Structure 1
Amino acid sequence: MGRFDGRVALITGAASGIGRATAMRMAADGAITVGFDRDVDGLTSVASEITEAS
């Protein structure tokens, strides 16, 4: 069990930098992670990485 199981994390700027790292960490810790960013390609990349890791 992760420490954020059952919680929802809304991450702005999730396609790169601190936002990306936060999204990856929250997902790894069990949160339902919702990312927002203007960079659709970067956001798609993060979503794929999270899906592959889970």
Structure 2
Amino acid sequence: ADEALQLFGAYGTTDEFLIQKLYRDARVKLIEDGTTEVLSLEGAGDLIRNY
């Protein structure tokens, strides 16, 4: 999503283009699920416990 927004530049932040909604929704989903680092740590912990 970040790369797509960079390709669109300033147009990616206006309501005129679908990319703005897609980027916004993707960012909300990341916040909702947790940061990549936290999810990685949780996954690593699960692997260690199951090993």
Bigger Rg, structure 1 or 2 = 2
- Normalised by the length of structure 1, the TM-score is 0.32
**Larger fraction in helix:** 2
